Amino acid sequence: MKQELQTPAYQNLYTAYDSFIKVRSLKGRMYQRNVNVFLIWLERYGITDIKQVTTKIMLVYYQHLIERPNLTRGGTLADNTIKGHLLSIAMFVENLLTTGIMVKAFDIPRHGNQDQKPRDYLTIEEIKLVYQHTENPLEKAILSVGYGCGLRRSEMENLNVSDVQLSSGILIVRSGKGDKRRQVPMSDTVLADVKHYVTEYRYQRLADRQHQKAFFINKKGNRMSGETVGKELKKILIRTNSPTILDKEITLHSLRHSIANHLMENSAGIDFIKDFLGHSFINTSYIYAIKNKKRFKPI
CB 195 within 8 A of CB 166: yes
For the annotated catalytic residues, the residue numbers are: 152, 177, 253, 256, 279, 288
Strand order of the β-sheet with 170-173 is 164-165, 170-173, 182-185
